[in-house]
């Protein structure tokens, strides 16, 4: 069984920065993809960024140049450095892990950006 534990959300003013972390425990092995998704009130969940175990990355257009995803394979941890935050970045951010055909989700962490 795999568990994902997120941390680092909070309240920040527009233009500020936050760093999210997500640690995976359990049977995490082999090639996998970790990432972050977000869901704002009344909107569907959307991709923010993903990174494979060989560090290929993919970003949503809305966060390119502002957010950076990284990972520590030894710790099975993925990070999301968020800079130049905007009020429209306000959402619950979910950690995601894909191993083959299986997907795991974290419980979510709230990020609120005030204007």
User: For the segment 57-85, what is each residue's pLDDT rounded down to a tens digit?
Assistant: 999 999 999 999 999 999 999 999 999 99
With a cut of 90, say whether residue 96 has pLDDT above it: yes
Q: What angle do CA 108, 3, 78 make, to 5 degrees?
A: 65
Query: Residue by residue, what is the 3-state secondary structure of 83-94?
Result: CCCCHHHCEEEE
pLDDT number for residue 6: 95
61-68 contact pairs (CB < 8 A, 24+) = 62/88, 63/89
4-42 residue pLDDT tens: 999 999 999 999 999 999 999 988 878 899 999 999 999
Residues 85, 68 contacting (CB under 8 angstroms): no
Q: What is the mean pLDDT of residues 104-111?
A: 97
pLDDT at 31: 84
The pLDDT score that the predictor gives to residue 10 is: 97
Residues 6+ apart with CB under 8 A from 54: 31
Give, in order, the Cα–Cα distances in Å from 97 to each of 17, 33, 46.
Answer: 24, 6, 15
Judged against a pLDDT cut of 90, whether residue 104 lies above it is answered with yes
Q: What is the pLDDT of residue 1?
A: 85
Q: How far apart are CA 59 and CA 44, in angstroms?
A: 17
Residue 105 has a pLDDT of 97
């Amino acid at each position: 069984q795999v568990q994902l534990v997120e941390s680092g959300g909070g309240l920040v003013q527009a233009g500020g920065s936050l760093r999210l972390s997500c640690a995976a425990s359990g049977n995490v092995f082999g090639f996998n993809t970790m990432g972050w998704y977000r869901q704002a009130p009344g909107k569907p969940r959307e991709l923010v960024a993903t990174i494979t175990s060989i560090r290929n990355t993919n970003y949503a257009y809305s966060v390119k140049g502002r957010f950076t995803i990284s990972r520590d394979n030894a710790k099975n941890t993925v990070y999301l450095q968020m800079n130049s935050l905007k009020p429209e970045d306000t959402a619950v951010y979910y950690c995601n892990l894909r191993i083959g055909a299986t997907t795991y989700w974290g419980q979510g962490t709230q990020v609120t950006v005030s204007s």
